[in-house]
Amino acid sequence: MLGQFYSDNNEKFNVVILAGGLGSRMGQASEHIPKALSKMGSQRAIDLIISKLQLIAGRYIVGTGWHGDLLESYMRGRFPNSGVIFSPEQVSQLKGNAFSLMYALDNVDSRMGTIVSFCDLLLLSNPLISSSALYFAHKDTKGVVGTFRHSAQIKGDVVKKVVALESPQHVADIKNGVIGFFVFRNTLLLKEITYSLARVGKLNDITSDIITRYLAVEEMKGIMVDALLEFGNEDDLEKARRAWENY
């Protein structure tokens, strides 16, 4: 059974689930449905993400893109009382994960912290949310772990720096590979950074652009992930499905 996240003081968060993009790496698996609706056992990925976060979610915002109408229709039927807010992007105007986050931030409550999760990963461990945090995988992380475009330099349990890699690296060849799950206790700062970068045309990537500047102002803990299922492409989706059956 998938455990649930909780906070040590019952704090509630905006939960931003980035489910946009074209799903081009998913091949036939995402030809007719968005990646967030990929089956995982008897459920779909979005079901598992919602259930994992439901104890700490004060508000859900879902960024949609490719087949966004299908995802929205499914979620309205599956979670009719959740009050999910949808942040749609036109497929012809998709510009990457940082812009998807920017549009979603228009709908967050600045009085709460904000959790950002990509729709193609399931954290199977590390349930306590207690601070601003960046999550990373390593060679001992169990489950299905893809490749990484960023690594984190960590001292003690504090993130000191994030580094963009010249090419995607496998988990066996990298230390502290950054995954697509972030906790921002300071939502006002997150919005200020994101919007200011967009205004000057320097908003491209969440980790390289937003996290780097957030770290310069506010401390983020580095959380080592013990178990993870990531399915950024069609092969990893099949591996994740097999792993889930044995979980």
**What pLDDT is recorded for position 232?**
79
Of 132, 64, 131, 142, the C-alpha closest to 100 is 64
Q: DSSP states of the chain as a string?
A: -----EETT---EEEEEEE-S--GGGGGGGSSS-GGG-EETTEEHHHHHHHHHTTTEEEEEEEE-TTHHHHHHHHHHHSTTS-PEEEE--GGG---HHHHHHHHHTTS-TTSEEEEEETTEEE-S--EE-S-EEEEE-TT-EEE--EEEEEEEEETTEEEEEEEEEEEEEGGG-SSEEEEEEEES-HHHHHHHHHHHHHTT----IIIIIIHHHHTTS--EEEE-SEEEE-SSHHHHHHHHHHHHT-
Average pLDDT in the 4-17 region? 94
CA–CA separation, 134 vs 117, rounded Å?
11
Q: Is 11-245 CATH 3.30.70.100?
A: no
What is the mean predicted confidence (pLDDT) over 7-12?
91
% of the chain beyond a pLDDT of 70: 93
Evaluate if residue 28 carries a pLDDT over 70. no
Assigned token pair, 129: 């949310």
Q: Average pLDDT in the 71-98 region?
A: 87
The average pLDDT across 139-143 equals 91
The pLDDT tens digits of the residues spanning 167-204 come to: 989 888 888 999 999 999 999 999 999 999 999 999 99
Residue 6 has pLDDT above 50, yes or no: yes
Each residue of 93-131: pLDDT tens digit? Answer: 667 889 999 999 999 999 999 999 999 999 998 899 999
Give the domain ranges of the chain.
Answer: 11-245
The reported pTM is 0.93
What is the Cα 39 distance to its own chain's centre?
A: 18
Query: Residue 38 pLDDT more than 70?
Result: yes
Structure confidence by residue, pLDDT tens digits, 197-240:
999 999 999 999 999 999 999 999 999 999 999 987 888 999 99
Residue 29 has a pLDDT of 47
